[in-house]
Amino acid sequence: MKKWLLLSRPKTLLTGLAPVLLAYSHLSKNSINIDNSLFVLTLICVVLLQIGSNIANDLYDGIRGIDTKDRIGPKRSMSSGDISYKKLKQVTYSIFTTAFFIGSYISYKSGIEIFFIGLLSIVVAYAYTGGPFPLAYYALGEFLAFIFFGVVAVVGVYFIQSQTINLDLWYSACMPGFFSAALMSLNNYRDIYSDKKTKKKTLAIFIGEKKSKYLTILLIMIGTINGMILHELSLELIVLPLILSITSITFLLKTPHGENLNKGLGLISFTNLSWCFFIFLSSRI
């Protein structure tokens, strides 16, 4: 159980929860009635896609020899031999199949648009490291994190409940997108030297270690500014997320390249969730 729990990368699951909370803050703000069963199913589907993508990442990076002994990130199950290729593949396909059927039911209740958004999300989650054209190997990680854990997630969840979209939603959705892109940027910054020895080409490799570090900081700063300006949080609600943003930036500035950067992944994920949670809380007060 411990192996499978670590394989799901629980810290990253906060990245999927954050945009769901933000979408529901807009629903509450606009006095839209919420279907609780759809809410639960949507949350399950988002978490399944996140876990499926994480396991597929472990599986296909292991197959392609990306996870070498030089990697300083968390231990990978495929490359270490902890879990067999056959078992990882079975679980990956089972998770994506389950997400597909849940998503199909959600689209039946909310509209065909959600079916295509959900299908695209499954394809991208799988193709991030799987398939003949692994998207993560072509410097698309930060962009995809911004789109699918920002705009697509927030707008999609909002549409499921309301069948409408408004302009403010698009601007607001960028906030978790920037934090998710920062998380991906930190991941690629951490792995820059081990990835250089493989066929994987990340944005960090193209721009170099120093610029990659400051790109991560810049993305956190933009996400923070978005949270402060667009969401009109009261002073008592803005304190904790702002402290977490400052802590994340300070951590990156002070931490040299190395294994300690792994702690930053959880910190950025929690910062993202904190902003979205307090915005959600503000909408309920």
- With cut-offs at 50, 70 and 90, classify the pLDDT of residue 157: very high
Contact 175, 230 (CB under 8 A): yes
Distance CA 202, CA 265 (A): 17
Sign of CA dihedral 119, 43, 245, 202: negative
**Of 50, 4, 8, 15, the residue nearest 185 (C-alpha):** 15
Question: What's the CATH code, domain 2-284?
Answer: 1.10.600
> Over pLDDT 70: what percentage of the chain?
94
Q: Within 13 Å, how many C-alpha atoms sit on residue 183's CB side?
A: 26
Question: Phi and psi for 201 in degrees, rounded to 5?
Answer: -120, 105
Q: Where are the beta strands (DSSP E) in the chain?
A: none
Residues 55-104 have pLDDT tens digits of 888 788 777 766 656 666 666 666 566 777 788 889 889 999 999 999 99
pTM of the model: 0.91
Segment 91-118 shows an average pLDDT of 93
Average of per-residue pLDDT values in the chain: 88
Distance CA 219, CA 186 (A): 10
Contact 99, 114 (CB under 8 A): no
Give residue limits of the domains in the chain: 2-284
